[in-house]
Amino acid sequence: MSLERVGEGMHALISRLYPICRSITGPGVRETLAIVREEIPLAIHEVPSGTRAFDWTVPQEWRIRDAYIEDAAGSRVVDFRRCNLHVVNYSRPTRARLTWSQLDQRLHSLPDRPDLIPYRTSYYAESWGFCLAHHQRQALAARGDGAEYEVVIDAELSDGFLTYGELLLAGESSDEVLFSCHVCHPSLANDNLSGVAVATQLARRLADRPRRYSYRFLFLPATIGALVWLSQHPASLPRIKHGLVLTLLGDGGPLTYKRSRRGDAEIDRIAAHVLTRSNMSQRLLDFEPFGYDERQYCSPGFNLPIGCLMRSLPGEYPEYHSSADNLELVRPEHLADSWQTCAAIVDVLERNRTYVSLNPQGEPQLGRRGLYGTLGGKAGRAELEAALLWVLNQADGRHSLLDIAERSGLSFDLIAKGADMLVEKDLIREQPQAS
Amino acid sequence: MSLERVGEGMHALISRLYPICRSITGPGVRETLAIVREEIPLAIHEVPSGTRAFDWTVPQEWRIRDAYIEDAAGSRVVDFRRCNLHVVNYSRPTRARLTWSQLDQRLHSLPDRPDLIPYRTSYYAESWGFCLAHHQRQALAARGDGAEYEVVIDAELSDGFLTYGELLLAGESSDEVLFSCHVCHPSLANDNLSGVAVATQLARRLADRPRRYSYRFLFLPATIGALVWLSQHPASLPRIKHGLVLTLLGDGGPLTYKRSRRGDAEIDRIAAHVLTRSNMSQRLLDFEPFGYDERQYCSPGFNLPIGCLMRSLPGEYPEYHSSADNLELVRPEHLADSWQTCAAIVDVLERNRTYVSLNPQGEPQLGRRGLYGTLGGKAGRAELEAALLWVLNQADGRHSLLDIAERSGLSFDLIAKGADMLVEKDLIREQPQAS
Amino acid sequence: MSLERVGEGMHALISRLYPICRSITGPGVRETLAIVREEIPLAIHEVPSGTRAFDWTVPQEWRIRDAYIEDAAGSRVVDFRRCNLHVVNYSRPTRARLTWSQLDQRLHSLPDRPDLIPYRTSYYAESWGFCLAHHQRQALAARGDGAEYEVVIDAELSDGFLTYGELLLAGESSDEVLFSCHVCHPSLANDNLSGVAVATQLARRLADRPRRYSYRFLFLPATIGALVWLSQHPASLPRIKHGLVLTLLGDGGPLTYKRSRRGDAEIDRIAAHVLTRSNMSQRLLDFEPFGYDERQYCSPGFNLPIGCLMRSLPGEYPEYHSSADNLELVRPEHLADSWQTCAAIVDVLERNRTYVSLNPQGEPQLGRRGLYGTLGGKAGRAELEAALLWVLNQADGRHSLLDIAERSGLSFDLIAKGADMLVEKDLIREQPQAS
């Protein structure tokens, strides 16, 4: 499948998921996961409200049917059915008649981007509210403070479940690579759905090929979902050797890797190698404890080697957390680039091994093994011959192929190709890892 | 007390001390310490001549009453009573009639700064001499080689004592912070008195507040005084965890921190943090074995974590070691800046602790503890919330608050404020130090 | 002897060696070593064909008497006797009558440097060929494809010996410094003979002076010679503490040091100190597993602390591996600079010791030992006094004189001179090395 087709496929999945009103609990997440399950064999887990997850508790399930603000003339001036961002996410049920000056205190808008509807949430604190374009808010204000409105949030908060999706692709080793994305934002395309689409496509690609590592994909409500998973899988944690949080992967920003808390984990070095050698614009950022679920994975009690792959940063692009984070913002070509980068990182992970030379004293005679030009004396040297010599020189059981690529300045791919040739000629063998 | 008043107070102290003819031993040091004792409860120690201090011996006490050069007409052309720099400090007693050509060999002047009287000493070698402005020397030379002069140095060198002052402000811990300044220069305002004034003011400030560390202030004759103290307090040395030599703190040069021999001691890192985050011009210099008593504290047998805080370097400013290092060179506002920097360094020392999270697995729920905005989704984030998250993330018992400030790029003050809030909510607790 | 005379002497030696047709085995190496033995008491070793050296085997001996291409008119259009580069080195014996189109496949020329005869070899693979200027090749091609030529390579390949030269200059310690150069290239002046000349001159200089280290000089056929030596001297290897491969030292390129595989060996740091403090243009390069016999010495099974000193790099200068690498390319003044640099590196190696202070607590009183100006107070300080204080401050048994030179920014020579003065005054003593 061409890269272009892959990008279009991911955009199509996002388009299907975009209208759904997701929240941290409730039917929106279930619908979302059901659609993802059409693509990959996701296991879907339901965790009861009230379940403890470290310092947190799974909240009640939120089900919203309708929400609106109706003016005295019976016209719905703000209507959840037109855009699910209009209601503050997780608002408690409400039915009231309010004057404009009372209602105004419950409204959220963006004065500096007056055409956009903001995205707001009210998790873990009983509240309610509406979001609307600032232009509209000003028009309503012009009707006078005394104007009256019927306000309805036809929602339900009750004991139920937190829902998440999980896929484990077992590999040769039980050591795991974790990919995690969030599924709790309503109609926001870049912020949650781009990560869902790239993770889904990556799982599809990995499903039908041999795998050195086992790969675990998590589709979770942010924060509480990650904490629930972490609290319920203590035995899995030591197996997680590498990981990436996938988010904000569909916009036109530069590919951005945010390092794990460790800063020099293998995933950090691999992501840096892949990004800096690509010809796409890119950035490498140090860890900081804000952002997405890397906050949880990299908390001091876990300190997992998990970084975050993004394009724009949260808050960096003007459409962030607003109605403009939509299907036009997210482009197939950006999704394709992001997916290709993930695939390249996985490729290095799979191939990054450590070798010992079986002929460590001096160089082996490559010429008689057909690995070297036999007519000596020519200036210049093929890059592959350089790769062979670098691998042989560094094959002391203490340098991985990534180490050798970094020291030599050659691409990981060339170094790995050289190592394969040397293995075939019995000149090096893999060093069992301490783990 | 306003910073301006603090600066004026320090300048007033310097003005009282300036006329005294100090040397490495003798009444000048005693008079100086007696005046300092009016401000802080200094203990004054007298160490007999002949006492051994490692490779050195306490020299005889020098008492000078008068010194002059009188011409044939009975006129005092050079007079110690007008400026105590006129006599080479520690000159042996002398009374002689000399021709100009004989006398000229005993004179010191500065051809490139012809109006200034230089400061010269003759410690540890029996000698004598006079210092004068080069212009005056030329005028005397014009009187002819045969002109005769009566030369008198009415001084006494005899067994007596070396005098130094000491103040220990006990704190919660017996671990000590050492501040050391020299008191052996005659009428030089920046070179010795500025350090005396800043140390005195710092001791006053620390005297009336709770202290985590114990603070030791030493007012010593340079070199021999430090060696005497070190040789007589072997049991104290292991308690010295941090320290600063204070000198040259009243001129208009940039604040300058010279690192300890260790280079990465906590005091080195704290001074760097405080200086680089101030908006004053500043410099950080590596250790070198010249300068003031850091030479002794940082000799290989002690290797104490003691740096040196200065403004201009010795020899760097044109007034150095001359009659122009006077009350006009030293300004109240520079003294105040220097003192404030010392106080800021002490503040970080006092507050720099290491914590462990009591909720290390994932983030604790800050919202329900009132530590976090409850309405999610807004772009941007208060710096204090960032500080809370950084402290929580790094509270693994291996990162001090200074480490966290450096990694996060936030100010130490903000990080420490965040830590205090988290302690209050039982989210972190201090990690006992290995020491 | 003046540096100029030293350079001329090395050029004269190169001029004698230049006409000889060397190869990896055979009489050319023997003749070369016999001439070098006129200068230094070289031991000459003969290793039989078929001897194993790790993955390699000593090949047969190659003896060439004559080689030419004769046209139908009986004229020698290509003649080994005019230039020994005309025959591919180590070509098997050949006698044939060929048309131009057959012959042309056996020819090597340089289209982009059409006046030069290239240097080509055919080691470890039975083959033969001729090298010639591309202009001449075009002229011959113009005679037509059907033109016939008599081709003769009057050579012999038969069991014999590999020959190498060795000189050990024993020192106080059995720890060794290895200098290695190659002697297997025919008429190439910079590529092999410059290294031979510099090594010979260095051995002459070291022969008649006291030596802390033992010095071993190897004059070897590249690759196979080094491997033979390494395989036959396993007991010597642990004694090799430092070393340099000497090559390409006569051209006008900048002095270039290529670090050992270790990268931070003492020889690496010394070469960096010497080169960066010289006023010659210079370069420091990281190790890579191409080049000369550092490839073998730095293979993972040996990992010896051996770097490579060069001027231009192989392939970097246009005359490389061609008839233009001749007696005009190699200049006496460049040879002299290179030799002087080697001598300076040896000088630092000999003098780089580690000391402990016998008076570590505070500074010793230098004044009464005549090591310090007795009249205090002067701004400025002699560099030698600075060196004394630096050595005293760092004499803790953990810092070598090179460490001190690097930290202080003073020259190694000044630091070593200071150390000698302090040893004489019993203020420091040498720290026995762990080795």
Can you tell me the distance from the alpha carbon of A134 to that of C227, in angstroms, rounded to the nearest whole number?
Answer: 80
- Is the per-residue pLDDT at C380 higher than 70? no
CA distance B301 to chain C (A): 4
Give residue A181's Cα distance to chain centre: 4
Q: Are strands C61-71 and C148-158 parallel, antiparallel or unpaired?
A: antiparallel
Q: What is the pLDDT of residue A251?
A: 97
- Is the per-residue pLDDT at C296 higher than 90? yes
- Is the per-residue pLDDT at C33 higher than 50? yes
Q: In C124-182, where does DSSP find H-type helix?
A: 134-141
Residues of A with Cβ-Cβ distance to B404 under 8 angstroms: none
**pLDDT tens readout for residues B238-255:** 999 999 999 999 999 999
CA distance C431 to chain B (A): 15
Contact flag C361-B298 (C-beta cutoff 8 Å): no
- Per-residue burial over A305-315, b if 16 or more Cβ lie within 10 Å, else e, is bbbbbbbbbbe
Among C107, C299, C313, the residue to mutate for chain A (most A Cβ within 10 A): C299
Q: Give, for A390, the enclosing helix (H) or strand (E).
A: helix A383-394
Residues 6+ apart with CB under 8 A from B338: B194, B198, B249, B250, B255, B309, B311
Which residues partner with C215 through β-bridges? C169, C177
Question: Chunked in runs of 10, what are the mean pLDDT values of chain A (435 residues)?
Answer: 94 98 97 98 98 97 97 96 97 97 97 97 91 98 95 97 98 98 98 98 96 98 98 97 98 98 98 93 96 97 98 96 98 98 98 97 93 55 88 97 97 96 97 74
Give the chain B residue nearest C376 (alpha carbons).
B121
Q: Which two tokens stand for residue B314?
A: 């010795």
- Is the per-residue pLDDT at B425 higher than 50? yes
- Is the per-residue pLDDT at C263 higher than 70? yes
Amino acid at C326: N
Residues of C with Cβ-Cβ distance to B123 under 8 angstroms: 376
Residues 6+ apart with CB under 8 A from C93: C128, C153, C154, C155, C156, C157
- Burial label, C238 (beta-carbon count in 10 A; 0-12, 13-18, 19+): exposed
From the list B404, B424, B427, the residue with the least C-alpha distance to B414 is B404
- Per-residue burial over B63-74, b if 16 or more Cβ lie within 10 Å, else e, is bbeebbbbbeee
Query: How confident is the model over C131-156, as a mean pLDDT?
Result: 96
**pLDDT tens readout for residues A91-129:** 999 999 999 999 999 999 999 999 999 999 999 878 999
DSSP code of residue A146: T
Query: How confident is the model over C230-241, as a mean pLDDT?
Result: 97
Residues of B with Cβ-Cβ distance to C374 under 8 angstroms: 122, 124-125, 127
Which residues partner with C219 through β-bridges? C165, C181
Of B360, B361, B389, the CB nearest to A290: B389
Sheet holding C396-400, edge to edge: C396-400, C354-357, C428-430
Q: What is the pLDDT of residue B434?
A: 64
Residues of B with Cβ-Cβ distance to A55 under 8 angstroms: 359, 362-365
Can you tell me the distance from the alpha carbon of B234 to that of A8, in angstroms, rounded to the nearest whole number?
Answer: 77
- ipTM over the 0.90 cut-off: yes
* Mean pLDDT over each residue of chain C, to the nearest integer: 95
CA distance C402 to chain B (A): 16
Provide the percentage of residues in chain C whose pLDDT is more than 90: 93
Can you tell me the distance from the alpha carbon of C21 to that of C184, in angstroms, rounded to the nearest whole number?
Answer: 9
Q: Which two tokens stand for residue A429?
A: 């063998």
Q: What is the pLDDT of residue B372?
A: 76
Query: How confident is the model over C213-235, as a mean pLDDT?
Result: 98
Q: Give rounded-to-5 percent helix, strand, coil for chain A.
A: 35, 25, 40
Residues of A with Cβ-Cβ distance to B375 under 8 angstroms: 88, 120-122, 125, 127
Q: What is the pLDDT of residue C379?
A: 40
From the list A54, A123, A39, the residue with the least C-alpha distance to A302 is A54
CA distance C363 to chain A (A): 43
Can you tell me the distance from the alpha carbon of A28 to that of A63, in angstroms, rounded to the nearest whole number?
Answer: 8
Give the chain C residue nearest B234 (alpha carbons).
C361
Q: What is the pLDDT of residue C374?
A: 45
Q: What is the pLDDT of residue B381?
A: 52
Within 10 A of A328 (CB to CB), how many other CB atoms are there?
9
Q: What is the pLDDT of residue C434?
A: 65
**pLDDT tens readout for residues B84-136:** 999 999 999 999 999 999 999 999 999 999 999 999 999 987 899 999 999 99
Can you tell me the distance from the alpha carbon of A389 to that of C294, in angstroms, rounded to the nearest whole number?
Answer: 13
Q: What is the pLDDT of residue C427?
A: 97
Provide the percentage of residues in chain C whose pLDDT is more than 70: 97
Contact flag B362-A226 (C-beta cutoff 8 Å): yes
CA distance B414 to chain A (A): 16
**pLDDT tens readout for residues C341-369:** 999 999 999 999 999 999 999 999 998 89
Residues of A with Cβ-Cβ distance to B374 under 8 angstroms: 122, 124-125, 127
Q: Which two tokens stand for residue C261?
A: 């595989």
Cα C256–Cα C260–Cα C263 angle in degrees, nearest 5:
100
Q: What is the pLDDT of residue B277?
A: 93
Contact flag C295-A377 (C-beta cutoff 8 Å): no
Of A360, A381, A395, the CB nearest to C290: A381
DSSP code of residue C121: B
Residues of B with Cβ-Cβ distance to A223 under 8 angstroms: 363
Q: Give, for A11, the enclosing helix (H) or strand (E).
A: helix A3-17
Give the alpha-carbon dihedral of C142, C144, C145, C151, to 10 degrees.
-80
Can you tell me the distance from the alpha carbon of A377 to that of C18, in angstroms, rounded to the nearest whole number?
Answer: 18
Using the structure block, give the residue that is written with the tokens 């975050």.
A308
Q: What is the pLDDT of residue C126?
A: 85
Q: Are B310 and B304 in contact (CB under 8 A)?
A: no
